Amino acid sequence: MSISMRIARIRPAEVRLAEENAAFLRAMGIVTIHLQASPGAGKTSLIQRTAESLSGRLRLAVIQGTLSNQSGVTHVHAVDLPVVQVNTGEQPYLDASMVREALEQLPLADVDLILIEEIGTLTLPTEQVLGATLRVAMASLPEGEDCPVHYPGPFARADAIVLNKTDLMAHLGFDQSVFHQAVRRVNGNAPIFELSCRSGEGIEPWSAWLLEQARDRQL
């Protein structure tokens, strides 16, 4: 079975475009985070909490992938920061050219950190490249302790891992140590941030990590 023929392969032109994105952003001193998670894991909530937490410390912007072209869809709005929504149409993931077009719509001279919210899925093509500085994979408690083993790709490639919805711990009988073991089976080093976008608990260490990433790269 020629599976490899059936996967959307990244064209060389796309890789060049991603490299150009990366070089351009590096020159601007802007750190970009490519955030990947399942639908409902809390990507938008994390962005809102992060923006609140980093307000006055880092200037944020958001590029947000969406499949929906319906009106009334709720998105990042509770915080005052530049957001470019990208409707990816039939293609269920962002690509480097979409990110480039979105960057052109942002006030980049006034931005330190861009959070790129991927379409919600843990099963992106493995070679997908946008030119982002860092990759973050997020899971949430209802997805189960062994989610990183069932869907290893995003967790294996991540520079940091977020576990959201810790406020549901008592109701779900979730064992954090099992989740940590599952992460370590696919990723030996990435820091793991446990937090609740609902309560705000655990947001500060995550924000501090982002701040550190931005400062390391701007000096």
Q: Which of residues 23-42 bind its own copies (CB under 8 A)?
A: 38-40
Q: Is 56 in the site for its own copies (CB under 8 A)?
A: no
Q: Is 87 in the site for its own copies (CB under 8 A)?
A: no
Q: Which stretch binds its own copies (CB under 8 A): 24-32, 50-58, 108-116, 120-128?
A: 120-128
CB contact at 8 A, 162 and 46: yes
Return the ∠ at Cα 121 (arms to 196 and 160), rounded to 5°: 50
CB atoms inside a 10 Å sphere around CB 80: 8
Residue type for position 104: E
CA distance 155 to 76: 24
Q: Is 21 in the site for its own copies (CB under 8 A)?
A: no
Among 12, 89, 107, 188, binds its own copies (CB under 8 A): 89
Q: Is 189 in the site for its own copies (CB under 8 A)?
A: no
Q: Is 13 in the site for its own copies (CB under 8 A)?
A: no
Rg of the chain (C-alpha set):
17
Q: Could you tell me which of 132, 128, 69 has the C-alpha nearest to residue 94?
A: 128
Q: Is 105 in the site for its own copies (CB under 8 A)?
A: no
For residue 89, the SS3 value is coil
Among 8, 23, 77, 205, binds its own copies (CB under 8 A): 8
Binding residues for its own copies, rule: CB under 8 A, are 1, 3-4, 6-8, 11, 38-40, 66-68, 70, 72-74, 88-93, 95, 97-98, 119-126, 139-144, 146-147, 149-153, 165, 168, 171, 185
